[in-house]
Structure 1
Amino acid sequence: MADHHHLPPEPVEERRHHKGGKAVLADDLKPRSRYGYYYGGGGGPARTLCFVVLVFLLLAGITALVLYLVYRPSRPALDVTAVAVYSLNASTTAAAGGRGASPASGPGVPTAVVASFQFTLVIRNPNGRSAARYDRLAAYVSYRGEPITAPVPMPPLVQDADSAVAVAPVLGGGAPVPVSPDAAAALATDVSYGVLALRVVVLGRVQFVSGPFRSGWRSMYARCDLLVGVRKGVAGSPEAPLLGNPACAVDM
C-alpha cells in the first residue's frame, strides 16, 4: 500500500502578525480606500450622475444670478416740470349745475369741484440695458386725498434704454367731481391764499425689454406732490408757478 505523504499545513503563526497581543491577519494590513470603505467600493454610475446633476444646478444658479444682477431693471422716474391751471372752482352741486352758490357751509350739503389742469410730466427710464413699455396709463389730480379730476387715459408709450420723454396730459375739464364739504372749503381757502397743494397720480403697467429677455407686466403707481401758485382769475393766466421742488415716488 503506497504511502501518501502530506505536506504539513502552513503554520497559522506565519500568516499572522501579533499586535498588542491579538492576532491580525496579513490581509487586514492592506490599505483600503477611504471612499471605498464608506461607499462600498468607489461608487458607481448613480453617484456619477448625482455629481453631474449637482454641478449643472450650481452652474445654472450662478448664471441666473449673474443675469439678474446685470439686467435687473430699475423703476422709472417721474418729474413734474410745468403746470397750467385752466379752471378751478369749488361749489355746491347746485352751483355746478349753473346756479351760483358759495362752498357748502353746513353738513349734508353736496359739493363738487370743477377743475382743469395741464401737467408736463417727464418720464425717465434709468436702465442702460433695458427698454421700457408702458400700457394702460391713466392720470388724475387729487387734493387732500380726494380726487378732483376724473382719471384720464393716456396713450401707450415705448421708451428706449436710458432715455426720457415728456408728456403733457390735460386733466379734468369735464363733469364736476364730488368732494367732501371740508375739502371744498379748504380748496376755496387755499385758492384765496394763492398756494395750492396738489397730488398728480399716474397709474398703469410697465414691461422691460432687454434683447431676447422680456419681463412680465408690472403694475406702476406714481404720485407727485407739488405746491402750485394760483391766483384769482386763473383762467386768464393758465401758467402757474411750481413752488419748491416737486417730489415724485414710484411704486411697482
Structure 2
Amino acid sequence: MSVKDCSHHKDRRRKLIRRFCAGLLIFNLILLIMILLVWAILQPKKPRFILQDATVYAFNVSAPNFVTSTIQITISSRNPNDKIGIYYDKLDVYAIYRSQQITYYTGIPPTYQGHKDVNVWSPFISGVNVPVAPYNGIALSQEQAGGSVQLIIKIDARVRWKVGTFTSGKYRLHVKCPAFLTFGSQTTGIVVGNAIKYQLVQRCGVSV
C-alpha cells in the first residue's frame, strides 16, 4: 500500500470521528433542550410538609447525658404539583436537639402521593437512655427546668417523581420541622390522659 493510500484512510477516519462527535453533541443538546422544556412546562415543586401536633408521653434527661422520650407526632404532606406524582419509597422520622439525634429512627410505610394529594402520618418516635454529649444533656435539663425545649423533627426520605408513564430515579429528600415544647407552669399543651398534646401547625423546611 502506498503512502498516499494510508493518508487517505487516516483522513477518512478523522472525518468519521468528527461526524460522530458532532452527532453526539447535537443529540445531547437536543436532549438538554427537551428536558428544559419539560421542566418549564411542568414547573415541578417540592412537597410541602406541616408538623400539626406533638403528643409527649415521656421526656426526661438522666444522669447526666441520657435522654428518654416517647412522642407521637402528626405530619401532613401535600403534593402541590398538578402533573407530577411522588413515590415515597422510604421515610425515616426522628428528633434532634442541637444537631444531635435523641430518638431512634421510625419508618413510615412507602406510599404514592398523587397530584394535589395530601397524606397524613402519625408515627411514634422514641428513645430509651439515648446518649448525648454532656453539654447537650446539661443544656436540655436546664431548658426543660426553665419551661421550654426546642426540638427539630426530621424526615429523611427517598422519593421518585412520576410524570405520565415515566418515573424518575431516586432522589434524597430532607425535611426539618421545628417543635417548641413547653413544660411545667408555662406549658401550652393540653393534658390528654398521661400525656401532653401540643397544637403546633408548624411549616417545615424541605430540601431535595
Tell me, yes or no, whether TM beats 0.5: yes
Alignment partner, residue 142 of structure 1: 96
Amino acid corresponding to residue 217 of structure 1 in structure 2: K
* 2:54–2:74 contact (8 Å) kept in structure 1: yes
Q: What secondary structure sits across from 1:120 in the alignment?
A: strand
Q: C-alpha distance in 2, partners of 1:239/1:119? A: 9
Q: C-alpha distance in 1, partners of 2:147/2:88? A: 35
Amino acid corresponding to residue 83 of structure 1 in structure 2: A
* 1:228–1:241 contact (8 Å) kept in structure 2: no
What count of residue pairs does the alignment treat as equivalent? 181
Q: What secondary structure sits across from 1:175 in the alignment?
A: strand
1:224 to 153, 177, 193: 177
Q: C-alpha distance in 1, partners of 2:45/2:202? A: 21
How far residue 62 of structure 1 moved from its aligned partner, in angstroms, is 4.8
Answer 1 or 2: which has greater strand percent. 2
Unmatched runs of 5 consecutive residues or more in structure 1:
1-52, 93-103, 105-110
Alignment partner, residue 72 of structure 2: 118
Q: C-alpha distance in 1, partners of 2:199/2:147? A: 11
How far residue 72 of structure 1 moved from its aligned partner, in angstroms, is 4.6
Q: What secondary structure sits across from 1:192 in the alignment?
A: helix
Quick one: higher RCO (CA 8 Å, sep 6+), 1 or 2?
2
Q: C-alpha distance in 1, partners of 2:104/2:195? A: 23
Unmatched runs of 5 consecutive residues or more in structure 2:
1-22
Q: C-alpha distance in 1, partners of 2:32/2:115? A: 27
Q: What secondary structure sits across from 1:176 in the alignment?
A: strand
* 2:50–2:76 contact (8 Å) kept in structure 1: yes
Alignment partner, residue 160 of structure 1: 114
CA-atom RMSD in angstroms: 2.7
Alignment partner, residue 5 of structure 2: none
TM, length-normalised to structure 1: 0.64
Instruction: Provide, for residues 34-65 of structure 1, a one-character-per-residue CA deviation record: whole Å limited to 9, x for no partner.
Output: xxxxxxxxxxxxxxxxxxx8xx8687665443
What are the within-5 Å matches in structure 2 for residues 50-61 of structure 1?
none
Percent identical residues: 27
1:177 to 115, 130, 138: 130
* 1:227–1:246 contact (8 Å) kept in structure 2: no
What are the within-5 Å matches in structure 2 for residues 61-80 of structure 1?
62-80=33-51
Alignment partner, residue 25 of structure 1: none
What are the within-5 Å matches in structure 2 for residues 1-252 of structure 1?
62-92=33-63, 104=64, 111-172=65-126, 174-231=127-184, 236-242=194-200, 246-252=202-208
Q: C-alpha distance in 2, partners of 1:148/1:230? A: 18
TM, length-normalised to structure 2: 0.76
Task: Tell which structure's C-alpha radius of gyration is larger.
Answer: 1
Q: C-alpha distance in 1, partners of 2:167/2:58? A: 43
Amino acid corresponding to residue 170 of structure 1 in structure 2: F
